[in-house]
Amino acid sequence: MKKFYKTVTTSQSDDGYLILLDGKKILTPMKADCLVPTENIATHMMQEWAGQQETIWPDSMPVTQMMMTVIDRVTPNRATFEDEILDYLDTDMVCYYAEEPKIYAEQQRTKWTPILEWNKSRFAINIETTTGLSALKQPVETRGIIKKHINALNDLKFGTLYLITTATGSLLMALAFLEGAFTPEEIFEAALAEDLLKDEIYLAEQYGISPDQERKRKILKSELENARLFLSLL
């Protein structure tokens, strides 16, 4: 989209902040007011819009994108999204370890065990793990404690939790990431534990990986880094 404005400012109201382009408030894709709850987020969004050149590139405005996603998708569908990510507890990748080959099993335990132990300690819960193929069913008490914690999150933090859960395939990773227990790089390595090990074995650095793999990894790394930025502004 061609840039259509010259000035970017913010306006404060009793309910939050608005971003103004040439004095006109920006709207979300669903035509809702893009009302921002904190000055830090508003200031960063203003900088994102002010930094656009002749063409507006949405991908260069991660905080704006996240804020609009929360307004348009997360808040109206909060209950549905909560149920969706709670279902990840029984299928969470960090609960399913390989037995063979040993090198993969060791890699998984190295990358995943700290995340499991953090969740156990943080929420005082029991988490079942397996090396088998049968689906797990986490204890009712565990699900209840995690559900209560998620219910208490505001929409901005919940939106970030939802994003990281669906991006990594792990609610337990996302919960640890949300509280800053692990860096974006550590979560990236945990989410791709087996793939990154295969890269070492098959000399991917020398021979390269498929364009599709490269694209998916770039997206995940970007989502994690942008999520950490967003959380830092809350």
Into which CATH architecture does domain 8-60 fall? 2-Layer Sandwich (3.30)
Q: Between vectors from CA 190 to CA 74 and to CA 75, what angle results, nearest 5°?
A: 5
User: Per residue in 56-86, is it b (16+ CB within 10 Å) or e — as a string?
Assistant: eeeeebbbbbbbbbbbbbbeeebeebbeebb
The CA distance from 107 to 84, in Å, is 28
> Residue 16 corresponds to which tokens in the numbers above?
């939050």
Q: State how far the alpha carbon of 72 is from the alpha carbons of 55, 66, 69, 78, in Å.
A: 24, 10, 5, 11
> Residue 64 corresponds to which tokens in the numbers above?
């704006």
234 residues of the chain, pLDDT tens digit each: 899 999 999 999 889 999 999 999 999 999 999 999 999 999 999 999 999 999 999 999 999 999 999 999 999 999 999 999 999 999 999 999 988 888 888 999 999 999 999 999 999 999 999 998 888 999 999 999 999 999 999 999 999 999 999 999 999 999 999 999 999 999 999 999 888 777 655 554 544 566 788 898 899 999 999 999 999 999
pLDDT of residue 168: 96
pLDDT of residue 212: 81
* Assessment of whether the complete model's pTM goes beyond 0.85: yes
The CA distance from 107 to 98, in Å, is 10
Domain limits of the chain?
Answer: 8-60, 78-232
pLDDT of residue 45: 98
- CATH homologous superfamily, domain 78-232: ATP12 ATPase (1.10.3580.10)
pLDDT of residue 51: 96
pLDDT of residue 52: 96
Strand ranges of the sheet holding 24-25, from the earlier edge strand across to the other edge: 8-13, 16-21, 24-25
DSSP of 217-230, one letter per residue? HHHHHHHHHHHHHH
pLDDT of residue 200: 59
